[in-house]
Amino acid sequence: MAQEQTQSVKLSLRLDAPIHTAIQQEGRAKGRLIDEHIQRILTEYVIRQNLLDDATGKEIEMKWSLVQRAVDAARRICREGGFAPDITNLAISACIADPQWFADYESYVKDNPYKHGNPRKGQINKEIGFRIRAGIGGQVAKRSDGKPAKIPVVGSIIQSCTEMESFKNDSVR
C-alpha cells in the first residue's frame, strides 16, 4: 500500500438531518459509529468505482475481512460461554488456528506475524481489538488510576490486549 494510504486526512461535512439520522441508524445496526460508517461507505464506493489500484482495493478488503473474522470468533466464543477477560486474545488464538485466516494475516502484514515492530501489525491489531470490544459490547476493565487494564500476551501475534469485564448478550447473537 502506498504511503499516502497509511495516512488519514480529516474531513468535515454537513448533512441534512434526515440523511444524518439514516446513516447513523444504519451504522449502529452494523456496529459502527457514524464517522466510521461514512468512512466505510465512501471507501466501498471508491473500490467499486475502481478509483484505487486493484492491489490497494484488495488490501483494504483483506483488512476488513481479517477484522470481521476476528470479531465473529469473539462473538462465537461469548455465545458458547467462553468469555474471559482476555477475550481478544482468545479470539486471536482461534483465528490463528484457522490456516486461511493466518495466511491472510501474514499476507496483509507482509512479514513474519510473530515479529515485533511491524507498523502494519500494530495498525491492524489495534483495529481488531477495538472492533472486538465494540462487536461484543465489551466493558473495559479499569486500573485504579482509571486507565484501561492491559493483559500481557506471550507467543502470539499480539503482545497485549485490553482486559474486558463483561459483554452484552444482545451484541453477540
> Which distant-in-sequence residues (6+ apart) come within 8 Å of 113 by Cβ?
102, 105, 106, 121, 157
Residue 56 confidence class, pLDDT cut points 50, 70, 90: very high
pLDDT at position 150: 97
Confidence grade of residue 6 (pLDDT, cut at 50, 70, 90): low
Q: pTM, whole model, 2 decimals? A: 0.88
pLDDT grade for 173, boundaries at 50, 70 and 90 = confident
Instruction: Give the model's pLDDT for residue 32.
Output: 83
The string of pLDDT tens digits covering residues 97-125 is 999 999 999 999 999 999 999 999 999 99
- State the pLDDT at residue 107: 96
| Cβ–Cβ under 8 Å, residues 27 and 33 | yes
Q: How confident is the model at residue 2 (pLDDT cuts 50, 70, 90)?
A: very low
More confident residue, 28 or 90: 90
The whole-number pLDDT of residue 4 equals: 42
Q: Are 43 and 11 in contact (CB under 8 A)?
A: no
Give the count of alpha carbons within 13 A of 28, CB side only.
6
Q: What are phi and psi of 112, to 5 degrees?
A: -60, 120
The CA-to-CA distance between both ends of the chain, in Å, stands at 35
Query: Using 50, 70 and 90 to split pLDDT, how confident is the model at 3?
Result: very low
Please state, rounded to an integer, the average pLDDT across all residues of the chain. Answer: 92
Strands 164-166 and 139-140: antiparallel
Rounded Cα gap, residues 20 and 132, in angstroms:
25
Q: Looking at residues 62-78, what average pLDDT do you find?
A: 96
Residue 31: pLDDT band by 50, 70, 90 thresholds?
A: confident
Alpha carbon of residue 156 to chain centroid: 17
